[in-house]
A and B are shown apart, each in its own frame.
Chain A
Amino acid sequence: MLKIYNDGGRITAAVSGDIDHHAARELRESLDMIIAYSRPEVLILDLENVGFMDSSGIGLIVGRQKRMREQGGELLVKNARAEINEILKLSGLAAVVADARREPNHTAKNTF
């Protein structure tokens, strides 16, 4: 499930639930819609409420990162738990996590 916080150019997508192969398809479709129609400068995936992620999440993140870069934007990941950060590091995605530490946490609820 996704909750979207829109600050104009910066969109935070708060994911909840497990990110596995089964769940990745729906998440990919929703995120690709946001990327294509809202065209954010920065898309931040907030993984605070993700209890589990396997390498399907790497595929999901790398794919969205590619799309964001194609339109001159950037993708960041924040609030991932330790095991998930370990998976991100394994796949060379440590940079998307490090940069997101500077991102503020959201309180406003502009969901759609």
Chain B
Amino acid sequence: MKRELINECRLRFPAISRNEAFSRSAVAAFAVQQDPTVEEVAAIKTAVSEAVTNAIVHGYRDSEGDVDLFMKLFSDGTILIQVKDKGRGIPDIKAAMQPMFTTAPEDEERSGYGFTVMESFMDKVRVRSAVGRGTTVTLEKKLRGKASPKGT
């Protein structure tokens, strides 16, 4: 079944930690039009928070820059979210996605569970990265919602 794009939104904000809360609230506000359950909203917010925090803590560790957040909603109820930075990039994506893997300094409180949390709360997690050029994390989840919408 072909899915059609219903709505989309683009946001750009500086990679500063106060935007972690802003970005997850923005995604929650965008998702509301699909009438998601409380659990679905919590899942999306958590996954976005992880991806945006990674962009801030790792992508732009020694530099400043912007984070781009793309959101798309499809007729089958799928929400697709992309978090994109133009930071350092990830040399070994497979290693970075292992539980407890972290390169963050100890005082940054990263546990190494960011990708584990994203994978657990979303249907699909894809990571594209090039060292020195940046990272794009794509998150996808089908929202069944309170009324199990099939789209119109």
Contact = CB atoms under 8 A, between A and B. Distances in A.
A24 B110 CA distance: 10
Contacts of B18: 22
Interface residues of B, number: 28
Interface in B14-49: 17-18, 20-21, 24, 39, 42-43, 45-46, 49
A91 interface: yes
Interface string A90-102: 1100000000000
B109 A63 contact: yes
A25 B113 contact: no
Contact of A54 (B46, B56, B106): B46
Interface string B59-87: 00000000000000000000000000000
Contacts of B20: 20-22
Given A21-B56, A22-B17, A62 B49 contact: no
A87 B17 CA distance: 21
A27 to B, nearest CB: 9
Contacts of A59: 108-111
Interface in A59-78: 59-60, 62-63
Interface bin, chain A: 20 to 34
Contacts, number: 72
Contacts of A25: 107, 109
Contact of B42 (A24, A55, A63, A83): A83
B117 interface: yes
A63 B56 CA distance: 21
A52 B121 CA distance: 14
A90 to B, nearest CB: 6
A91 B113 contact: yes
Contact of B21 (A18, A82, A86, A91): A18
Query: Which of A20, A24, A62 neighbours the largest number of chain B CB atoms within 10 Å of its CB?
Result: A20
A54 B49 contact: yes
B98 interface: no
